[in-house]
């Protein structure tokens, strides 16, 4: 005898189908709004750091800015480097302007390499001089190596937060990995947070927390911040002889 399906059964069946459909839509919507969804789930924080390192190695030029928070700056000999801005070009040339503290005085200095020749803006005379790079206060400065070491030396990386534009990754690294940016370093690890552009994989910002050398002095050493901002990737940058 054939089974008779009444109208109430049909109605209940359609209601169940609609409910399943709505639940599926809701799940998709939640996944798209999840701060660590899709791309973050398919790639680990370590993989993103490695991929960014590969991309940054191929960058032909960039601009960087180094600043400090909760400390006056980084001591270099008798001077304290408070902030620096620099241009790096693809022909092994760079131009760096920096502010130094000498007691209560604020001095401007600079460092430039053009066609394998090194120039130094003397903070005391405010004149550019041709010199050997090994005897200038910024002779250790190699932003390209320093930035690459940030990406390659970060250990135990994990997602800190995730915006629409950037991956925000935190981890730790040896202070010595930053010697190309600040000179002499201490023998300890520091915490770091980086911002990596999702579209280009460029490293656009890094904040390093804690003590980097024996001169660092703060009421709370862990609150010391060194901030590096990077921009103007692959732009045509011309660095000229500062004596001209």
Q: What is the pLDDT of residues 57-116, one digit of tens each?
A: 999 999 999 999 999 999 888 889 999 999 999 777 899 999 999 988 999 999 898 988
* Helix runs in 104-209, H state only: 143-153, 179-182
pLDDT 10s digits, 184-230: 889 999 999 999 999 999 999 999 999 998 888 767 888 999 999 99
Does residue 49 contact residue 150 with C-beta atoms inside 8 Å?
no
Percent of the chain with pLDDT over 90: 53
* Residue of 33, 62, 60 whose CA lies nearest to 230: 62
Instruction: Output the pLDDT for position 221.
Output: 87
* CB contact set of 76 (below 8 Å; sequence gap of 6+): 100, 137, 138, 182, 183
pLDDT of residue 134: 54
Among 90-94, 122-126, 154-158, 162-166, which stretch is predicted with the lowest mean pLDDT?
Answer: 90-94
Spans of all domains in the chain: 42-231
- What is the structure's pLDDT at 81? 92
Per-residue model confidence (pLDDT) at position 60: 92
Q: Which two tokens stand for residue 163?
A: 């915006």
Q: Write the DSSP symbol of residue 132.
A: -
Is residue 165 very low, low, confident or very high in pLDDT (cuts 50, 70, 90)? very high
Position 138 scores a pLDDT of 64
The confidence score (pLDDT) of residue 42 equals: 81
Give the closest residue to 131 by CA, choosing from 16, 222, 243, 4: 243
Q: What is the mean pLDDT of the chain?
A: 82
**pLDDT tens digit string along 114-131?**
988 889 898 888 999 998
| Residues 52 and 30 sit within 8 Å (Cβ to Cβ) | no
pTM: 0.78
Q: Which residue has the higher pLDDT, 6 or 17?
A: 6
Q: What is the pLDDT of residue 207?
A: 97
Q: How far apart are CA 188 and CA 210, in angstroms?
A: 9
CATH number for the 42-231 domain, one of 3.40.50.12280, 2.170.120.12, 2.60.40.2140, 2.50.20.20? 2.50.20.20
- Taking only the tens place, the pLDDT of each residue in 27-62 is 444 444 444 444 445 889 999 999 999 999 999 999
pLDDT given for residue 62 in this prediction: 94
């Amino acid at each position: 005898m054939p089974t008779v399906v009444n109208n109430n059964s049909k109605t209940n069946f359609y209601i169940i189908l609609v409910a399943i459909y709505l639940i599926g839509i809701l799940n998709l919507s939640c996944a798209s709004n999840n701060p660590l969804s899709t791309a973050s789930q398919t790639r680990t924080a370590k993989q993103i750091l490695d991929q960014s390192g590969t991309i940054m190695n191929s960058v032909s030029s960039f601009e960087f800015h180094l600043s400090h928070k909760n400390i006056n700056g980084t001591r270099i000999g008798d001077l304290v480097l408070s902030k620096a801005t620099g241009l790096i070009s693809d022909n092994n040339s760079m131009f760096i302007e920096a502010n130094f503290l000498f007691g209560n005085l604020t001095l401007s200095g600079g460092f430039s390499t053009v066609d394998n020749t090194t120039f130094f803006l003397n903070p005391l005379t405010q004149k550019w001089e041709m010199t050997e790079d090994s005897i200038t206060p910024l002779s250790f400065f190699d932003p390209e190596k320093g930035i690459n070491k940030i990406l390659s030396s970060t250990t135990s990386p994990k997602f800190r937060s995730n915006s629409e534009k950037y991956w925000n990754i935190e981890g730790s690294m040896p202070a010595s990995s930053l010697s190309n940016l600040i000179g002499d370093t201490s023998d300890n690890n520091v915490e770091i947070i980086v911002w990596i552009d999702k579209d280009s994989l460029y490293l656009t910002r890094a904040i390093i927390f804690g003590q980097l050398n024996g001169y660092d002095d703060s009421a709370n050493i862990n609150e010391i911040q060194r901030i590096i901002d990077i921009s103007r990737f692959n732009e045509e940058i011309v660095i000229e002889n500062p004596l001209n």
